[in-house]
Homo-oligomer: A and B are copies of this chain.
């Protein structure tokens, strides 16, 4: 179970978009800031745009800008935008297959294994939803010097 690395890219890129301020920034510049593939980062940014986290501006001097402040963007928002909202553990109901399934009556209620895994996953989602990008920005050394570096790198 490995999370797509696009999540890491998206998180850092969103933080950079916040540091640079208002105007839209092209995916090429955002990619160069961290030495990433511009085309692939563009793909991730499109998914963020579909999820309503960033706004895309077409045309020359276009790009992407934050759709809302970092305070209103949780880690869960970003993960679901990139990974999709599907559950990691997908119950295939093997309890209804094979000899046990044939010999047993159709089970009632949800699978206990599935329920337990979903409980754990719900804890993960809640922990993600409880953390917002504004908190990460605080943890980072967001001194004016760092912000200036980001602006220089994205100019």
Contact = CB atoms under 8 A, between A and B. Distances in A.
B12 A92 contact: no
A97 B35 contact: yes
This chain's copy number in the assembly? 2
Interface in A71-116: 75, 83, 86, 88-92, 94-95, 97-101, 103-104, 107, 112-113, 115-116
12 contacts: A1-B1, A7-B117, A8-B92, A8-B94, A33-B98, A33-B100, A75-B120, A98-B153, A100-B153, A103-B152, A103-B153, A112-B140
A98 B139 contact: no
Contact of A124 (B11, B99, B120, B136): B120
